[in-house]
Amino acid sequence: MTELPDNTRWQLWIVAFGFFMQSLDTTIVNTALPSMAKSLGESPLHMHMVVVSYVLTVAVMLPASGWLADKIGVRNIFFAAIVLFTLGSLFCALSGTLNQLVLARVLQGVGGAMMVPVGRLTVMKIVPRARARAIMAVPT
């Protein structure tokens, strides 16, 4: 098989990094909940909304991501997803209350919901079909 051009490789690395960020963020917050509860002065039992807000937002926004990519463009939506996810992460770090943290997680969820499916569309558009199937076979 032929080598991929350098710009295609960079695009694939960006998509892979987006997949990694979204996958990590879905699960890693669970290990940090006790520390976050202590920092916010909340009971750890009240922190469930931090997880639920993200997962629920991803579930609600996931179907819209393909439609948005068709209407606005795959590259534009993927870029917007990374920006929203990054801003949500920044706002999570700056949150001083549980409500602020939950709202920041919702913003992260909107970005995360678009990152993986639109990232897959990106791979399908920039890689030849025979190679894309092999690349997409890697579980995310």
Domain of 124 in residue numbering reads as 6-130
Q: How many domains does the chain have?
A: 1
Amino acid at 96: G
- Domain with residue 12: its CATH number is 1.20.1250.20
| Residue 47, helix vs strand vs coil | helix
Q: Which residue has the higher pLDDT, 34 or 121?
A: 34
Using alpha carbons, select from 122, 140, 14 the residue that is nearest to residue 132: 122
* Position 76 in a domain: yes
Amino acid at 106: V
Structure tokens at 49: 């909304």
* Position 139 in a domain: no
* Position 14 in a domain: yes
Give residue 20's pLDDT.
81
Q: How does pLDDT run across 23-47, given as a tens digit for each residue?
A: 788 788 889 999 999 999 999 998 9
- In this prediction, residues 47-72 reach a mean pLDDT of 92
Residue whose token pair is 């917007």: 80
Q: Where are the alpha helices (DSSP H) in the chain?
A: 6-40, 48-72, 74-94, 98-126, 129-136
Structure tokens at 5: 């051009």
